[in-house]
Structure 1
Amino acid sequence: MATVIPGRMSAHIEGDFVVFLIGMRFNKPWKIHKWWGAFTAMPRMLKVLFQRPELGLLAAQYAITPSGPVTIQYWRSVEQLEAFAKDASLPHHPAWRAFNKLVGGNGDVGIWHETYLVSAGRYETLYGNMPRFGLAQAGEHVPVARKGETAAARRGASGS
């Protein structure tokens, strides 16, 4: 289990970065043969990405939500994220082709993603009595006082 760091901490990361959320929904959960491939593809992709940091993934975490699994990813740039998705020699491309062949638009499995481009210093984080988590895994885990005592100060709002 991860070590809990008592008190209030924040995260710091140099430069712009990308938050990429990707998930799936089991529209017909009994059709395991339809969703199993997509479900198991993400761990394989992340394994490659963690082995090859030059591809741009900074950190990733899994979550299980009532509507299905979600992976929260932090990337150095949107260009690196898109390059990974398009490169036929990397695991996303064949997984995407397999999904479209097996499921396509039949509605058995839902997939989604959201991409957020974050400008340098235009974010706010707070971790209270938590292990290193989220953006703090992608960048530095710093005492909250270094970033500011209020949410506005931590996100660089003017007049804070």
Structure 2
Amino acid sequence: MAMVGLFWIAEGDVYVGAKPTGSAPGVRLTPEGVLALGDGQAGLFLWEDVRALTMADVPVKTLKRQIGAVTELALDAVVNLALPGGPGPSGGGPAMMALRVETPDGDRALSAYAAAAVGYTETEADLSQALLSRLTDGAATMATTLAAMSAWGRTWEGSSPRTAQREELLREWLS
């Protein structure tokens, strides 16, 4: 499983944001449509009904965000050394993003956690938004694009690729 832009690809499954566990919210892209997962957001939006997909509240990687993450880790380590079994990590968890699904019946916002701890690069976020838009260009385009993403996920071994390779993959899936 690996993160590529705003997508989490686990074997052949493609998620927007992090792959959810348990009852956590998430969104999976299937050949049939956009599948809402987790408590409070069940449903399948068929591709034929999806007019647009856009992601809101995407955390973009900044120096301030990176320094904050390092500071938080250091503070957590000090607190846990001073208070063994104490309060645990002080962070509020990963950022929550919203995938806006536009259909003839109106818009629906689906929640998903960000997979990038300190945010996504601006380029990855932009390419991912373009890829989400491409998925709504018609059945053939959607099927080809999702198939390419799934095929890559089934053959990829290891952790998430480095930034340059992730951006290259996103560009390839856009072409």
Q: Work out which structure has the larger RCO, using CA pairs closer than 8 Å and 6 or more positions apart in sequence.
A: 1
- The TM-score, its normalising length taken from structure 2, stands at 0.25
Q: Which structure dedicates a bigger proportion of its chain to strand?
A: 1
- The TM-score, its normalising length taken from structure 1, stands at 0.27
